[in-house]
Amino acid sequence: MATYVIAIPGTFTEGLSGSSHSALRRELAPRHTELSRSEGLDLLTVNDDNTFAVRLEVEAPDRYEAKLKATDLVATALREAGIPEDQAPLGPAAVTGMDGED
């Protein structure tokens, strides 16, 4: 098992209200560990053009499973924050860091 840092891009097609932004950050907060804080990892970056990136840590046996798990976590966080799937399509997940065995 290894810890992976996964980046998932996306676009808010309808923009993102302040309350939705706060709700999404709350949903992602459990993924912000001491390691990610010490590394300066920002869980959610939203750009002026409504594109965004979520960066989070997941534990998984390999890169493929890490990407799947991270994508599922982000999709769930968006849904729980009240952001419909069609208003925040996700791009492909990418491994940006790893700690442990692969």
Q: What is the pTM of this model?
A: 0.87
d(CA 99, CA 16): 33
pLDDT tens digits, one per residue of 24-67: 988 888 776 655 565 666 789 999 999 999 998 899 999 999 99
Mean pLDDT score of the chain, rounded to an integer? 88
Report residue 47 as tokens. Answer: 């750009």
Q: What is the pLDDT of residue 8?
A: 96
CATH number at residue 88: 3.30.70
Report how many domains make up the chain. Answer: 1
pLDDT at 33: 60
Q: In what order do the strands lie in the sheet with 44-46?
A: 44-46, 51-60, 2-11, 94-100
Looking at residue 101, what is its pLDDT? 64
pLDDT score at 34: 59
- Which domain range does residue 75 map to? 2-100
3-class secondary structure, 7: strand
